[in-house]
Structure 1
């Protein structure tokens, strides 16, 4: 059961999403921003690959969220093929905020303003616990990666950039 008091570290929209999903997670707030995966991993004391980046792309004009581990990069061509899209590119800050309701650096994996297609890289499942943004650049929360993907209504895919 989620504590109904408004004394939460999470962004209000995200806190509401947690309540609606019945999720009781520990949201941690840090005095310094955890805007990048490296900053978040250092603040938490976890591996970089345990950080979940919620990245917004534009596929043929439609937003799509890609969940990727913090130590990897998204292969845009693999995303394009997965979606059957003609073109895929990173969304600009305005589209990110319009689609998710959050600013870059604080986008959580779910609890977005609009229902958006979500692709989750299979590499997230390599960990027992992953950490994701809780709606702003100062907050994170831990969750089992399978539960995170399920709550995001994500499709498991292989879209990680492979090193040469």
Structure 2
């Protein structure tokens, strides 16, 4: 798709991962993932938000369905740490090179560990930010896991 290349889609292409992009009008409020699910007519359990957190001071990307929230205690446990906190927006943007609402798990400025909620296994494909507001990428959960070198863990709360 012309004009849809981002560092995230370039990383997927380079890795040989099959994916499709889905543009939508992004009103740009604050619930970016929910907006994406609504605009594309998708089940919010299949659309993942990519959040930047820190476990014992080490940055990590956490991916959970937009229908739920990140369980920080579960994230800390999944990473073998004691405490997890959300990174502020400025730090998230500096670490990833993406703006809030368009943070993708691939093509980040700094390579970060990725933890993906176990619920992705329930779906044939999932959606996540392609690296900018108004653009989602659809791919198989196994491909997302492989491309991000991520780990699966139960880190979402309803």
More strand by share: 2
| Unaligned stretches of 5+ residues in structure 2 | none
Higher mean C-alpha deviation, range 103-112 or range 46-55: 103-112
1:105 aligns with 2:101: yes
Greater Cα radius of gyration, structure 1 or 2: 1
Are the equivalent residues in 1 in contact too, given 2:17–2:143 (CA < 8 A)?
A: no
| Unaligned stretches of 5+ residues in structure 1 | none
Q: 1:71-93 deviations in whole A, cap 9, x for unaligned?
A: 11111111112222232100111
Equivalent residue pairs, number: 156
Of 6, 13, 16, the residue aligned with 1:19 is 13
Deviant stretches of 4+, over 3 Å: none
Secondary structure of 1:102's partner? coil
1:151 aligns with 2:147: yes
- Partners of 2:76 and 2:18 lie apart in 1 by 35
Are the equivalent residues in 1 in contact too, given 2:63–2:115 (CA < 8 A)?
A: yes
The TM-score with structure 1 as length reference comes to: 0.86
By how many angstroms is 1:129 displaced? 1.3
Of 130, 139, 160, the residue aligned with 2:156 is 160
1:8 aligns with 2:41: no
1:57 aligns with 2:29: no
Root mean square deviation of aligned Cα: 1.8
